Amino acid sequence: MSGVNKVILIGNLGSDPQVRYTPQGTAVANFSVATTEKFTNKNGERESRTEWHRIVAWSKLAEICSQYLKKGKQVYIEGRIQTRQWDDKEGNKRTSTEIVATNMVMLGRAGDAGGDAGAQEFPDDEQATQEAPAGQEDDLPF
């Protein structure tokens, strides 16, 4: 049996998407999403814990994210976890774990800080032809 690498997040954008283009002209958007977990601790007090997630979207999905998403908006993100390693300018090893988005749905009602005009789904139809960063090609088991 092969493994499963699937992430589903519902949270709020911590920043507007930043879009860049590869030398081949493929769009890539980067943004952050915060998810907050609320719970009661062992003393019966209410607490919350916020996790920040780095999101990367490619191709058409990247362009859609940059056009429609804004800081504070609520969003559903579906994708996979990817960890990258590189050497920085000083030669130090750096690591980044991010979510590569394959589907995005804007949530909330029209006029809310949480979203635009209700839920709108934007799947990544070009997922099979997306450009991955150099050295990040997937090893497909088929």
What is the full per-residue pLDDT of the chain (142 aa) written as tens digits? 789 999 999 999 999 999 999 999 999 999 999 999 999 999 999 999 999 999 999 999 999 999 999 999 999 999 999 999 989 889 899 999 999 999 999 997 655 554 444 455 556 654 433 444 444 444 434 3
**Can you give the pLDDT at residue 119?**
52
Q: How far apart are CA 65 and CA 69, in angstroms?
A: 5
Domain ranges of the chain: 7-128
CA–CA separation, 8 and 78 (whole Å): 5
Q: One-letter amino acid identity for 113?
A: A
Which residue has tokens 């009602």? Answer: 109
What is the distance between the alpha carbons of residues 84 and 98, in angstroms, rounded to a whole number? Answer: 8
Contact present, 14 and 34 (Cβ < 8 Å): yes
> Where on the phi/psi map is residue 40: left (φ > 0), alpha (ψ -120 to 50), or beta?
beta
- Cα 65 to Cα 73: distance, rounded to the nearest angstrom: 11
pLDDT on residue 2:
87
- Answer yes or no: CATH 2.40.50.140 is held by domain 7-128: yes
pLDDT at site 1? 76
